[in-house]
Amino acid sequence: MFPPVPNLTPQERGLPDWPGINLEMKRKGVTLFLVWQEYREAHPQGYQYSWFFLQYREWLGKRDWVMRQSHQAGEKLFVDYAGHTAPGVDPHTGEIREAQIFAAVLGASNYTYAEATWSQSLSDWVGSHQRTFQYLGGVPEILVPDNLRSGVSKAHRYEPDINPTYQELAAHYGVAVVPARVRRPKDKAKAEIGVQIVERWILAVLRNRTFFSLSELNKAVARLLVRLNERPFKKLPGCRKDLFETLDAPALSALPATPYVYAEWKKVRVHIDYHVEVEGHYYSVPYQLIKQQPDARLTANTLKCFRKGQRGASHPRSWLKGRHTTQPEHMPEPHRQYSDWSPERLIHWAEKFGSSTAHTITTILSSRHHPQQGYRTCLGILQLGKAYGDDRLEAACQRALLLGTQRYKSIESILKHGLDKQPVPEQQELSLPEDHDNIRDPDYYH
């Protein structure tokens, strides 16, 4: 039951390669028991699993006794901004502007990316992520940001609200966003350490240099970033680049075929004229959404409105303030019919009845200060043709022109009393007598 221990030296039994074993443990699906089985296949007289397990834990404890997190290859990317900034000088004004330093660190290999942006705004935050994925040549499974407002709209211990634009970026690249807990720096220890390393090995080196543009600063950061990722580890063989090429790079997902188009989301209110206001311009939405608050998605070229996940409107983006962009299908039926009319269309319709009707409509439109003020009268007159017929309307308009009236009520009265059926009286010129007591010659007024 208790066989004697083999009388072999540790070298003969085979000492495990703990750094190599730790590297294998970072691979997906690899367990310590599997690694021990492979060790026994290579060393049949090797140690048992219980000793193997305890020695490995002891070796890990000597490396880091504060906290130990297991990071799988290609799983997590920790992102954050450095606490220090890099100054840039405007070459025209001499104004000093502080650039923010974005840092991203892969969990398994510690492979690091860094760049400078002028702000921590949403557009810079999203753009830095896109350039990070391009730099890595792939996409990890999980993003672990801090609770920066550009990434997390509302922090919460269990269900934080992710910024809609950031969530859309994550959906486009197929990556999950799991923010670190508030005031829990150990949740993002990789980011904290990565930021510290960037500050020491990049920002500190550049502290005495003056940069006159953001691109010049980023070129200097890129050169030092190569040196940082190729710098040998102190306790492990290799460097960040070696581990990245061995562990993370093969496990990353492929980049999407189409690039992400930056878009911002905002709540808008639909006014009673079924338009929403975005940066001074007014866009139409279906009139059924009046007094509701849909979500507007804004890109450089388009505006789209969504209500409960359903798209309600889509417009080309306009930068003209105070103007309206309206689609007819968004209007109620009465408004749509009214908006379809124009002076040319009304006159063309009137010409089908006859020249007198066309003359009447033209006179009405030209007598108004704004032609739109006569639309309703013209439509009423033309609609009389449906009730009384085209010929009678033409005859009524002819009589109305002779009477010098172009009012709807006058033409309706002519039709109602059948005056249009009576012959039109011819205008007779009155002949004046040559000699009369009341007739004065032109010299009378001199």
CA 325 to each of CA 286, 293, 298, 343: distance values in angstroms, whole numbers, following the listed order: 13, 19, 15, 22
Higher pLDDT pick, 284 / 432: 284
Which pLDDT score, from 0 to 100, does residue 433 have?
Answer: 53
Q: Is the pLDDT of residue 335 over 90?
A: no
Residue 99, in any domain of the structure: yes
pLDDT at 337: 62
Between 146 and 382, name the one with better pLDDT: 382
Please tell me the predicted confidence (pLDDT) of residue 149: 62
What percent of the chain lies above the pLDDT cut of 70? 82
What band does 102 get if pLDDT is binned at 50, 70 and 90?
very high
Mention every residue, 6+ apart, whose C-beta is less than 8 A from residue 301: 316, 317
Does residue 156 carry a pLDDT above 80? no
Measured distance CA(166)–CA(177) in Å, rounded: 9
Q: Average pLDDT, stretch 126-130?
A: 91
* CATH number for 135: 3.30.420.10
290, 316, 337 - which closes a domain? 337
Task: State whether 210 and 115 are in the same domain.
Answer: yes
Is residue 307 assigned to a domain?
yes
Q: What is the DSSP letter of 267?
A: E
Which carries the bigger pLDDT value, residue 191 or residue 367? 367
Q: Of 337, 356, 371, which residue is a domain's last?
A: 337
Instruction: Classify residue 202: in a domain, yes or no.
Output: yes
pLDDT for position 306 = 87
Would you say the C-alpha torsion 53, 59, 61, 63 has a positive or negative sign? negative
Q: Are residues 216 and 82 in the same domain?
A: yes
Q: Are residues 101 and 181 in the same domain?
A: yes
CA distances from 212 to 89, 95, 116, 117 (A): 5, 10, 13, 14
pLDDT at 171 over 60: yes
Q: How far apart are the first and last CA of the chain?
A: 155
Mean pLDDT within 293-318: 86
Distance CA 21, CA 229 (A): 22
> Span 24-45, mean pLDDT?
80
pLDDT band at 223 (very low <50, low <70, confident <90, very high): very high
Instruction: Provide the pLDDT for residue 370.
Output: 63
Among 167-181, 383-397, 420-434, the range scoring the smallest mean pLDDT is 420-434
Residues 228, 270, single domain; the answer is no
Clarify whether residues 332 and 208 are in a common domain. Answer: no
Residue type, 301: N
Using alpha carbons, list the distances in angstroms from residue 19 to 15, 128, 226, 304, 389.
12, 33, 24, 53, 100
The distance from CA 232 to its chain's CA centroid, rounded to whole angstroms, is: 41
Residue 270, classified by CB atoms within 10 Å of its CB into exposed (0-12), middle (13-18) or buried (19+), is: buried
One domain, residues 203 and 98: yes
**Residue 41, CA distances (Å) to 14, 26, 28, 31 in order:** 11, 21, 21, 16
Mean pLDDT, residues 257-277: 86
49 in a structural domain: yes
Residue 431, domain member (yes or no): no
pLDDT exceeds 90 at position 135: yes
CA distance 180 to 80: 11
Number of domains the chain is built from: 4
pLDDT of residue 323: 83
Average of pLDDT values for 14-39? Answer: 80
Q: Is residue 148 part of a domain?
A: yes
Give the DSSP per-residue string, 354-377. Answer: -HHHHHHHHHHHHHSSSGGGGHHH
User: Closest Cα partner for 411 from 362, 371, 368, 361?
Assistant: 361
Give the whole-angstrom CA distance, residue 277 versus residue 271: 9
12-21, 110-119, 369-378: segment of lowest average pLDDT? 369-378
From 303, 337, 371, the end of a domain falls on 337
Buried b / exposed e along 114-140 (16+ C-beta atoms within 10 A): bbbbeeeebebbbbbbbbbbebbebbb
Considering the domain architecture, whether residues 120 and 246 belong to the same structural domain is answered as yes
Report d(CA 131, CA 246) in Å as an integer: 22
119 and 202 within one domain = yes
- Same domain? 207 vs 294: no
Instruction: Flag whether pLDDT at 436 surpasses 60.
Output: no
- Provide the 10 A C-beta neighbour count for residue 2: 4
* Residues 270, 192 share a domain: no
- Give Cα separations from 142 to 104, 126, 180 (angstroms): 12, 15, 12
Mean pLDDT of the chain: 81
Whole-angstrom Cα distance, residue 223 to residue 212? 17
Tokens of 88: 């840039």
Q: Which domain holds residue 374?
A: 341-420
In a domain, 258, yes or no: no
- The reply to whether 21 falls in a domain is yes
Average pLDDT over residues 123-142: 91
| pLDDT at 257 > cutoff 50 | yes
DSSP state string for 38-55: HHHHH-TT---HHHHHHH
Q: Which of 32-41, 210-219, 434-443 has the highest mean pLDDT?
A: 210-219
Predicted confidence at residue 65, as pLDDT, reads 46
Alpha-carbon separation of residue 78 from 132, 140, 175, 202, 335 (angstroms): 11, 10, 13, 18, 54
Shared domain check, 157 and 39: no
Neighbours of 43 (CB within 10 A): 14
- Residue pair 292/313 in contact by the 8 Å Cβ criterion: no
Of residues 146 and 6, the one with the higher pLDDT is 146
Whether residues 188 and 173 share a domain: the answer is yes
pTM for the structure as a whole? 0.58
Q: How is residue 394 written in tokens?
A: 């033409």
Give the number of other CB atoms < 10 A from CB of residue 175: 18
- 267, with CB counted inside 10 A (0-12, 13-18, 19+), is exposed
Give the SS3 label for residue 304.
strand
